[in-house]
């Protein structure tokens, strides 16, 4: 098309030419980081799933309002999901993907709340499974939206891992162990790969999720049939097995020969109560579980769960022992297990604590319990039991003296510390080299390696303190002076009077002293002084004629005087 320009010449205009359109911005949604931050800030730090579920509902409502995807009005409801058109819109952003994510999180949070309540209300287990199924539907919807090219590869991987984790959680509750294992492993691999590609400060949520998946994987492996891949006691400490009954049922299924008799210090103890038998079978691998635990805190958790179960078992045997005297020995045996495991837990706490005064208090508890057990009537004349408990008591007492010495040393009471460390050196000579548990052996080794240094340090500091005290207590010549301190500042003498209530520092009030007059006084007085007229005494000045006065007036009146 040709148009005529303003100056009369032709002007070509191309009407079919279109402006260049910029490609839409890719969508990025850090799913795991987003939900972890939301969980920590809205209740899950304290296990409050109801609060987190409420937050998810409010978040969904705000997103729908801002993104203009309402589901009807106040009177009518019309379901509207996030679809392909929303994602492919050039003006779309990541918040469209957050809607199905928050829907899935709300259902998952509700399911976890029902899981807590299902301990007392078993019927809620069915509602829990229903909510997890619904969470899987929303997670699948999120994964389908993230498959479009508009989303970057990281978002696609995170959605796949989230979908696999949600499906694994559902199959875990349905006891579909093989399918749950496959989904958990898929999620674990994706999160490990994502963590390896990110910066160090961004890896923490992904590593935490990998650690959270590991216990569930081991439990699935155990139920599939791989006994070596799992430790029931460790799983229970991590919350997978919530009650002793679940632990007993798992152990009972795998144990054909149930324990009927226990050999303890050459004493044969018959076990006739089935609950006690199952408990003794369940703790057979306790020491191995403690060795494989990640840290001392995990070991303490395992021991505390065992002590809770042991309390119920002991109360059951105590009731039976009232009617049957044969169970008295079994009761003593169970009490010895409780004392041994309590002492083991206290030793683990000693390894964690940093204050020596807390350590010797825990050792006091161990000494008291062990002493009471050694005086039990059932084993009073048993040589093997007597030797065992005496060795334990000697070790605990040596450790108690050592930590008490460290407490005195921390308070700079060097004399008491030196005496206690010296008693430790005497006790070490009588201790056995073997026959202790791993925790006790480790503490004894630390004590043997350090007590000589502690003795030398305490003795050296005590000698130094004694020398300082002697130097302070030397007799000094008392100096007294009537001259105040202000008049002898150039002299240094130790005068006790200066430290008394009436020191001689300065004379008050000060003595009166004459001072020179200030010239400024005369300058002010000069303004009021009238000097005499001395002009007649000046040379060359005419003499001023004085008035005749009254006598001259009389002479002039009567004609007297000179003309």
Instruction: Using the predicted structure, report yes or no on whether residue 519 has a pLDDT greater than 50.
Output: yes
Residue 500 lies in a domain: no
Confidence (pLDDT) at 94:
86
More confident residue, 126 or 294: 126
In a shared domain, residues 42 and 189: yes
In a shared domain, residues 233 and 348: yes
- List own/partner pairs for 404-408 with CB under 8 A and 24 or more apart: 404/356, 404/360, 405/454, 405/458, 406/356, 406/454, 407/356, 407/357, 407/360
Mean pLDDT of all residues belonging to the chain: 80
The residue-averaged pLDDT of 447-451 equals 88
Residue 524 lies in a domain: no
Residue 16 lies in a domain: no
* Residue where a domain stops, chosen among 309, 336, 369: 369
In a shared domain, residues 414 and 297: no
Instruction: Using the predicted structure, report yes or no on whether residue 554 has a pLDDT greater than 70.
Output: no
Confidence (pLDDT) at 478:
60
* Residue where a domain stops, chosen among 308, 339, 369: 369
Instruction: Using the predicted structure, report yes or no on whether residue 255 has a pLDDT greater than 60.
Output: no
In a shared domain, residues 182 and 218: yes
- List pLDDT tens digits, range 31-80: 999 999 999 999 898 889 999 999 999 999 999 899 888 887 778 888 88
Instruction: Using the predicted structure, report yes or no on whether residue 529 has a pLDDT greater than 80.
Output: no
In a shared domain, residues 146 and 292: yes
Instruction: Using the predicted structure, report yes or no on whether residue 108 has a pLDDT greater than 70.
Output: yes
Residue 275 lies in a domain: yes
Task: Name the DSSP letter for residue 510.
Answer: P
In a shared domain, residues 362 and 396: no
In a shared domain, residues 286 and 428: no
The residue-averaged pLDDT of 474-491 equals 74
pTM (2 d.p.): 0.49
- List pLDDT tens digits, range 412-439: 899 999 999 888 888 888 888 777 888 8
Q: What percent of the chain has a predicted confidence (pLDDT) above 90? A: 17
Task: Name the DSSP letter for residue 262.
Answer: E
In a shared domain, residues 331 and 398: no
Confidence (pLDDT) at 202:
86
Phi, psi at 10, each rounded to 5°: -70, 150
Highest mean pLDDT pick, 293-297, 375-379, 451-455:
451-455
Residue 250 lies in a domain: yes
Confidence (pLDDT) at 548:
52
Q: How many domains does the chain have?
A: 2
In a shared domain, residues 135 and 243: yes
Q: What percent of the chain has a predicted confidence (pLDDT) above 70? A: 81
State the Cα torsion 235-247-114-109 to the nearest 10°.
Answer: 10
The residue-averaged pLDDT of 232-244 equals 49
* Residue where a domain stops, chosen among 316, 341, 369: 369
Instruction: Using the predicted structure, report yes or no on whether residue 518 has a pLDDT greater than 70.
Output: no
Residue 18 lies in a domain: no
Reported as a pLDDT band with limits 50, 70 and 90, residue 228 is very low
Confidence (pLDDT) at 507:
85
Q: Which domain CATH number covers 43?
A: 1.10.3450.40
Residue 464 lies in a domain: yes
Confidence (pLDDT) at 550:
55
Reported as a pLDDT band with limits 50, 70 and 90, residue 247 is very low
Measured distance CA(32)–CA(39) in Å, rounded: 10
Highest mean pLDDT pick, 249-258, 260-269, 477-486:
260-269
Residue 3 lies in a domain: no
Reported as a pLDDT band with limits 50, 70 and 90, residue 322 is confident
In a shared domain, residues 358 and 413: no
Reported as a pLDDT band with limits 50, 70 and 90, residue 305 is confident
In a shared domain, residues 95 and 153: yes
Highest mean pLDDT pick, 116-120, 221-225, 398-402, 544-548:
398-402
Confidence (pLDDT) at 15:
45
The domain of 406 spans 389-468
- Helix residue ranges, H only, 118-238: 124-146, 153-173, 177-197, 204-224, 232-237
Phi, psi at 527, each rounded to 5°: -70, -20
In a shared domain, residues 428 and 324: no
Q: Using an 8 Å Cβ cutoff, are 169 and 153 in contact? A: no
């Amino acid at each position: 098309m040709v148009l005529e320009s303003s100056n009369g010449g032709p002007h070509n205009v191309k009407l079919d030419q279109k402006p260049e359109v910029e490609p839409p911005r890719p969508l990025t949604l850090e799913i795991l980081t987003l939900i972890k931050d939301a969980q920590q800030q809205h209740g899950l730090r304290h296990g409050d799933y109801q609060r987190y579920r409420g937050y998810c509902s409010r978040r969904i409502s705000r997103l729908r309002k801002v993104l203009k995807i309402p589901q009807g009005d106040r009177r009518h409801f019309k379901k509207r999901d996030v679809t392909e058109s929303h994602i492919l819109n050039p003006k779309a952003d990541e918040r469209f993907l957050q809607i199905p994510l928050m829907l899935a999180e709300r259902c998952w949070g509700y399911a976890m709340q029902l899981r807590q309540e299902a301990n007392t209300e078993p019927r809620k287990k069915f509602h829990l499974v229903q909510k997890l199924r619904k969470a899987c539907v929303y997670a699948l919807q999120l994964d389908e939206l993230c498959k479009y090219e508009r989303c970057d590869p990281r978002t696609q991987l995170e959605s796949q891992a989230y979908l696999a984790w949600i499906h694994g959680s559902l199959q875990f509750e349905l006891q579909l162990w093989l399918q749950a294992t496959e989904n958990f492993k898929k999620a674990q691999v994706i999160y490990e790969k994502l963590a390896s590609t990110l910066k160090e400060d961004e890896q923490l949520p992904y590593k935490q999720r990998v650690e959270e998946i590991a216990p569930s994987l081991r439990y699935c492996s155990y139920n599939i049939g791989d006994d070596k891949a799992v430790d029931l006691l460790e799983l229970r400490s991590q919350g997978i097995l919530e009650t002793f009954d679940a632990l007993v049922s798992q152990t009972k299924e795998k144990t054909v020969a149930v324990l009927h008799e226990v050999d303890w210090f050459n004493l044969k103890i018959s076990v006739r109560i089935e609950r006690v038998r199952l408990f003794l079978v369940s703790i057979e691998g306790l020491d191995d579980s403690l060795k494989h635990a990640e840290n001392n805190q995990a070991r303490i958790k395992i021991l505390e769960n065992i002590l809770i179960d042991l309390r119920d078992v002991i109360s059951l045997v105590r009731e039976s022992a009232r009617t049957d005297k044969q169970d008295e020995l079994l009761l003593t045996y169970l009490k010895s297990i409780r004392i041994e495991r309590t002492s083991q837990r206290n030793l683990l706490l000693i390894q964690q604590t940093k204050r020596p005064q807390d350590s010797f208090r825990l050792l006091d508890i161990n000494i008291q319990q062990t002493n009471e057990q050694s005086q039990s009537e059932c084993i009073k004349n048993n040589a093997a039991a007597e030797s065992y408990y005496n060795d334990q008591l000697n070790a605990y007492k040596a450790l108690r003296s050592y930590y008490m010495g460290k407490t005195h040393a921390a308070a700079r009471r060097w004399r008491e510390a030196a005496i206690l460390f010296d008693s430790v050196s005497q006790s070490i000579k009588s201790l056995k080299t073997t026959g202790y548990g791993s925790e006790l052996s480790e503490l004894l080794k630390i004590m043997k390696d350090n007590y000589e240094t502690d003795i030398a340090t305490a003795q050296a500091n005590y000698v130094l303190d004694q020398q300082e005290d002697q130097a302070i207590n030397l007799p000094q010549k008392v100096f007294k002076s009537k001259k105040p301190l202000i008049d002898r500042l150039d002299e240094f003498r130790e005068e006790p009077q200066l430290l008394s209530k009436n020191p001689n520092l300065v004379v008050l009030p000060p003595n009166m002293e004459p001072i020179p007059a200030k010239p400024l006084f005369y300058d002010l007085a000069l303004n009021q002084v009238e000097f005499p007229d001395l002009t007649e005494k000046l040379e060359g000045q005419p003499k001023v004629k004085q008035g005749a006065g009254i006598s001259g007036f009389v002479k002039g009146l009567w004609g007297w005087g000179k003309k």
